[in-house]
Amino acid sequence: MGLESRVDVGPERIRLEYDRGTIVVRGLTQEIPPLKWDPRAKCLRALAYKYLEVKRVLELLGLEFEDRVLSPIKGSIGTASLKSLRSYQEEAVEAWLKAGKRGVIVLPTGTGKTMIAIKIIAQVNEPTVVVVPTLELLEQWRLELSKALNVNVGVVGGGSRELSFVTVSTYSSAYLHAEEMGDKFKLLVFDEVHHLPSESFRQIALMSAAPYRLGLTATLEREDGKHVDLLDLVGDVVYRKSVYEMESKHLADFELVRVYVEFTDDEKRKFEKLYSTYRDFLEKRNWRLKSLQDFKRLIMVSGLSREARRALIAWRDARLLVLNSVSKLDILRDLLKKHQGDRILIFTELNETVRRISRMLLIPEITYKTGPKERATVMELFRKGVYRAVVTSRVLEEGVDVPDANVAIVLSGTASRRSFIQRLGRILRPAPGKKAVLYEVVVKDTPEIVISKKRRRGLVGS
Amino acid sequence: MLPSELLRVKRRGNKILPSFASLSHENEYASSLLIDVYSEHVGKTLRELDEAVKEVEDQLEDLDYHPKFVRGLVELLNRAITTERPVTKVPPDVARRTVFSVSSERGFAITNRDRAEVLSEASRRLGVPVEDLIKAFEASYEDSEVIIDFKAPKPVELLRQYNLSLLQTLMFKATSMTIIANMTGAEAKSLLRTIKRFGLMYMAHKEEGPLRIHIDGPASILTQTRRYGTRMAKVLPTVLHLKTWRIKAEIIHMDKRYTLEIDERYGDLLPSKPSIEEKFDSLVEEEFMLKFRAFSMGWEIVREPEPLIVDGTVFIPDFALSKDDLKIYLEIVGFWTPSYIEKKLKKLSNVRDAIIVAVDKKLSCAKEVSLALKELSNIKLVTFEDKLKLSDVLPVLRELEKRKAVERREEGLPRPTDEEGLRAYLSRMEEEPLKKVLEVLKDFGIQDMYETQKILRKHGLVIVWRSLDQSDAIVKRLYR
């Protein structure tokens, strides 16, 4: 193209382009919703997810335009080796396709949502990014996708930044790189899609021009009510089945055993002293700690008053005492002895406790501090049976698959939320001829002082 | 920049400011106490450092220092150390894998005795003494790392660094930011380069007084977002070395909107950066300036003069040439890519001031460039080969001087042309029915709709269609 023709002021052709999370329309000056005039760049602009709408409007007005928005990653799915789906999984796939390749599928944990997504990705056969909440899930999805679809799966997150025809990313990395990723994919898959409506994560959806979108979750509803925004970001709920509607054979069955332990006298004394410091502080202010919100308030105030800080430290130490109680560790020892041939998952909330158990009993640990490489090694050796136990503070938070763990030991503060335990239990895989079993180890007669964010989240929608 | 939980702010109405640490003796004391602890721990492990730091933190807290302030200093000092994994006889991951595997085989280290047995079996398998095995096993814990270097700041500098970090942390929550400052061309260039590098966008304004640069990101006009806050925080330090500056930012903090306003009076609380050195874009410019200074005949030359605002964007000509009340800019169009030239021409065509454009004849598109520029009345076109010579530019300057002399003799300002009348009409406009505007434009000889849109756009106006009927449409100001 000669320079003259561009410098000269003939009527410009209407051009649609992608610009860092937005769609830019050049050669047109009228504001037509959803397009807005951008005085900074002297062009019209809309958020990238309005791509289809912008195209529709321009076509409706009979305007001719050149579409340069998407630069999809080239490639295709290899010879996919898909397991045959269960009937409800087939139904979910059909429902999503029928809804125009957009929408949310709601199914309980442990019902094979990954299989549904894989089937959809294979069927659509367009560049796809799968967005997941944690690094564990990242690794798990990467393995399953490359196995089932026979492709090299790109990874964005955990220090890696490789884009491929099929790519997996964490929500945080997809948020950070939304500008660069927004024009490269045609299908977005959001695992645990209830995370998406948060202020920052929603930008992954807003800044992408991908026309096809799939959301997966077991717990759609959010406490803040923002799940209604998913209609705009991903699409309507196209398929939904509750635990009760599912046939029981699809869910793993497990036995729940609650084990009570008692403080030693010394521990009891210490605990009472610490607990009263904390309780007196609250009583003086007439506070009742009912929720995470209240707890946050305490932390905020603690930045201001020394008394509050002291209360907070007392609370923390009391909690540590409960979690690290000597008798509790004794029970853990007994349980480990009892389950010699099994695959055991030990869950406790505090990283310090995880490390303590790992060091003392020489059991591999996974915390949020564990690097991706070590994490992958631990998971793999656990799967292979070289490691027979793993102690962790965070897996399972979002339904991470731990194949072949048939025993779980939860060293909780006091009583755990039922929904949390249910969820954990569902992830266990019974060994042949044996029922999976979940132990919950609880200190007797201590007030409820452990408020777990993770477990509260587990409550949502179940 | 600090973790957001260490942010401390002062709020009053809708104003917000970081709780800056003053450069008092008390604060300097806390700062130096912490720096000493770090200095003393070079060669020791992070675990040892952490314990010592915790002790000092407690001590300072008892003296009524705010724990968030103390933690903030610690955060910054942690970035000034370099650590290394301890050297081990076997790689830590191998040691761990062996220990955990042996432990799993034997049913875990249930008792102390089991533990000892697992460790000795693992050390046997790896062929190293138990002591070395344990060291390697522990080495993968991050607090086993050894501090090998600490770049100790001065106590006051640490406080200033803390204040800047605090300000930047508050800026994370910004939806937009405006920099109001007097700056030279070089300073403006450096600032704009930073803005672009971070994928931000700007809109510049100037009406008597300093330059105002409003900064946000591509999506900002479509949705209220704090997405660009982190990047705006990174732009901040480039402003601090200016002589006078003011920053205004829109902040969303705890779901409420605030305005942050801060200026050079806070400068002493913040670190200052060395100002930007003069750098020439090309050899052609540098040579020309030296020659001009030597044979200037009363003309003065300033390189990268004060920025001009062209349609909301900043344009910094290469030179400003002035003599008495005469002033003309000079822009050298050297050897560049066609897309760069295209952008430059677009900008030039909107400049209202008198400007000499010197085009390199070697330029593949020199002809087209010249053609395009000849149309524009404010532009004096000259061409050069290899180097821009004084003799290329001097005739233009002489002509200017002559014309000015004639004007003075006539003792009167030239009659406003049609163009000026039109400009005056459009620059006053805020909102007007399209129909009326079209009638006025017709008087000025503009009938074509495309031409109309173009000229409106140039003046910051757009046509808003309320329906497909032209008589419903209005012309509205979008920006100034």
**What pLDDT, on the 0 to 100 scale, is given for residue B252?**
94
**What pLDDT, on the 0 to 100 scale, is given for residue A295?**
65
Which residues in chain A are closer than 8 Å to B468, comparing Cβ atoms?
Answer: none
Give the nearest partner residue to A36 out of B217, B222, B372, using CB atoms. Answer: B222
A261 or B8: which leads in pLDDT: B8
B172-269: CATH topology is: Alpha-Beta Plaits (3.30.70)
Highest mean pLDDT out of A246-250, B335-339, B340-344: B340-344
Which residues in chain B are closer than 8 Å to A207, comparing Cβ atoms?
Answer: 219
Q: Quick check: A35 and A45 in contact, CB under 8 A?
A: yes
Which residues in chain A are closer than 8 Å to B460, comparing Cβ atoms?
Answer: 39
- Tell me the three state secondary structure of residue A428: coil
Measure B191 CA to nearest chain A CA, in Å.
17
Which residues in chain B are closer than 8 Å to A179, comparing Cβ atoms?
Answer: 199, 218
A265 or B201: which leads in pLDDT: B201
pTM: 0.72
Highest mean pLDDT out of A29-38, B347-356, B432-441: A29-38
pLDDT (average), residues A235-250: 74
Which residue is closest to B468 within chain A, CA to CA?
Answer: A61
A305 or B411: which leads in pLDDT: A305
Q: Quick check: A456 and A292 in contact, CB under 8 A?
A: yes
- CA-CA distances (angstroms) from residue B435 to A72, A378, B225, B440, B471? 45, 74, 37, 9, 6
Residue to mutate among B104, B105, B337, B466, with most A CBs inside 10 A, is: B104
ipTM: 0.74
CATH 1.20.1250.20 fits A87-248, yes or no: no
Give the nearest partner residue to A303 out of B67, B346, B450, using CB atoms. Answer: B67
Measure B278 CA to nearest chain A CA, in Å.
28
Question: Mean pLDDT across chain A, nearest whole number?
Answer: 81
Model confidence at A325: pLDDT above 70: yes
**What pLDDT, on the 0 to 100 scale, is given for residue A447?**
57
**What pLDDT, on the 0 to 100 scale, is given for residue A403?**
58
B71 or B422: which leads in pLDDT: B71
pLDDT (average), residues B165-187: 92
Model confidence at B412: pLDDT above 60: no
pLDDT (average), residues A261-288: 79
Q: Is A306 on the interface with B (CB under 8 A)?
A: yes
Q: What percent of chain B has pLDDT over 90?
A: 40
> Cβ of B29: how many Cβ atoms within 10 Å?
14
What confidence tens digit (pLDDT) does each residue in A360-374 have?
Answer: 999 999 887 777 778
CATH architecture of A252-262+324-459: 3-Layer(aba) Sandwich (3.40)
Give the nearest partner residue to B221 out of A45, A340, A381, using CB atoms. Answer: A45
Phi and psi, residue B237, nearest 5°: -60, -25
The two tokens of residue B125 are 């398998």
pLDDT (average), residues B342-368: 76
What confidence tens digit (pLDDT) does each residue in B288-316 have?
Answer: 888 887 776 778 888 888 788 887 788 88
**What pLDDT, on the 0 to 100 scale, is given for residue A134?**
85
What confidence tens digit (pLDDT) does each residue in A160-193 have?
Answer: 888 999 999 999 999 999 999 999 999 999 999 9
**What pLDDT, on the 0 to 100 scale, is given for residue A288?**
67
A200 or B142: which leads in pLDDT: A200
| CA nearest to A37, candidates A25, A54, A21 | A25
Give the nearest partner residue to A362 out of B99, B226, B479, using CB atoms. Answer: B99
Q: Quick check: A111 and A247 in contact, CB under 8 A?
A: no
- What residues does each domain of chain B span? 4-85+145-158, 92-144, 172-269, 283-410, 418-477
Q: Is A5 on the interface with B (CB under 8 A)?
A: no
Measure B403 CA to nearest chain A CA, in Å.
31
Which residues in chain A are closer than 8 Å to B462, comparing Cβ atoms?
Answer: 29-31, 37
Q: Quick check: B116 and B106 in contact, CB under 8 A?
A: no
What confidence tens digit (pLDDT) does each residue in B209-220 have?
Answer: 888 999 999 999
| CA nearest to A409, candidates A385, A431, A433, A425 | A425
**What pLDDT, on the 0 to 100 scale, is given for residue A294?**
66
**What pLDDT, on the 0 to 100 scale, is given for residue A370?**
79
**What pLDDT, on the 0 to 100 scale, is given for residue A460?**
30
Q: Do A42 and B457 touch (CB under 8 A)?
A: yes
Which residue is closest to B92 within chain A, CA to CA?
Answer: A374
Q: What is the 3-state secondary structure (H, E, C) of chain B?
A: CCCHHHCCEEEECCEEEECCCCCCHHHHHHHHHHHHHHHHCCCCEHHHHHHHHHHHHHHHHHCCCCHHHHHHHHHHHHCCEEEECCCCCCCHHHHHHHHHHHHHHCCCCCCHHHHHHHHHHHHHHHCCCHHHHHHHHHHCCHHHCEEEEECCCCHHHHHHHHHHHHHHHHHCCEEEEEEEECCCHHHHHHHHHHHHHCCCEEEEECCCCCEEEEEECHHHHCCCCCCCHHHHHHHHHHCCCCCCEEEEEEEEECCEEEEEEEEHHHHHHCCCCCCCCCCCCCHHHHHHHHHHHHCCCCCEEEECCCCEEECCEEECCCEEEEECCEEEEEEEECCCCHHHHHHHHHHHCCCCCCEEEEEECCCCCHHHHHHHHHCCCCEEEEEEECECCHHHHHHHHHHHHHHHHHHHHHCCCCCCCHHHHHHHHHHHCCEEEHHHHHHHHHHCCCCCHHHHHHHHHHCCEEEECCCCCHHHCEEEECCC
Give the nearest partner residue to B222 out of A22, A360, A374, using CB atoms. Answer: A22
Q: Do A361 and B96 touch (CB under 8 A)?
A: no
pLDDT (average), residues B232-248: 89
Q: Quick check: B473 and B452 in contact, CB under 8 A?
A: no
**What pLDDT, on the 0 to 100 scale, is given for residue A7?**
35
pLDDT (average), residues A126-136: 92
What confidence tens digit (pLDDT) does each residue in A257-268 have?
Answer: 888 887 777 888
Q: Name B345's Cβ contacts closer than 8 Å, sequence gap at least 6.
A: A7, B369, B372, B373
What confidence tens digit (pLDDT) does each residue in A62-78 have?
Answer: 888 999 999 999 998 87
CATH architecture of A3-68: 3-Layer(aba) Sandwich (3.40)
Model confidence at B270: pLDDT above 60: yes
**What pLDDT, on the 0 to 100 scale, is given for residue B416?**
43
**What pLDDT, on the 0 to 100 scale, is given for residue A402?**
57
DSSP A451: -
Q: Quick check: A436 and A430 in contact, CB under 8 A?
A: yes
- CA-CA distances (angstroms) from residue A45 to A72, A127, A345, B223, B275? 21, 25, 51, 11, 37
Q: Do B462 and A42 touch (CB under 8 A)?
A: no
**What pLDDT, on the 0 to 100 scale, is given for residue A457?**
37
Measure A386 CA to nearest chain B CA, in Å.
6
| CA nearest to A179, candidates A161, A198, A206, A199 | A206
**What pLDDT, on the 0 to 100 scale, is given for residue A178?**
95
What confidence tens digit (pLDDT) does each residue in A74-86 have?
Answer: 998 877 677 788 8
What's the number of CA atoms in the CB half-sphere (13 Å) around residue B343? 8
Residue A46 belongs to what H/E stretch?
strand A43-47
Give the nearest partner residue to B110 out of A46, A337, A386, using CB atoms. Answer: A337
- What residues does each domain of chain A span? 3-68, 87-248, 252-262+324-459, 265-323
pLDDT (average), residues A142-149: 90
| CA nearest to A76, candidates A10, A12, A140, A122 | A122
- Tell me the three state secondary structure of residue A271: helix
**Whole-angstrom Cα distance, residue A188 to residue A124?**
11
B20 or A356: which leads in pLDDT: B20
**What pLDDT, on the 0 to 100 scale, is given for residue B337?**
65
- Tell me the CATH number for domain B283-410: 3.40.1350
**Whole-angstrom Cα distance, residue A261 to residue A264?**
9
Residue to mutate among B50, B100, B226, with most A CBs inside 10 A, is: B100
Q: Quick check: A392 and A347 in contact, CB under 8 A?
A: yes
Question: Mean pLDDT across chain B, nearest whole number?
Answer: 85
> Cβ of B281: how many Cβ atoms within 10 Å?
14
**What pLDDT, on the 0 to 100 scale, is given for residue A299?**
65
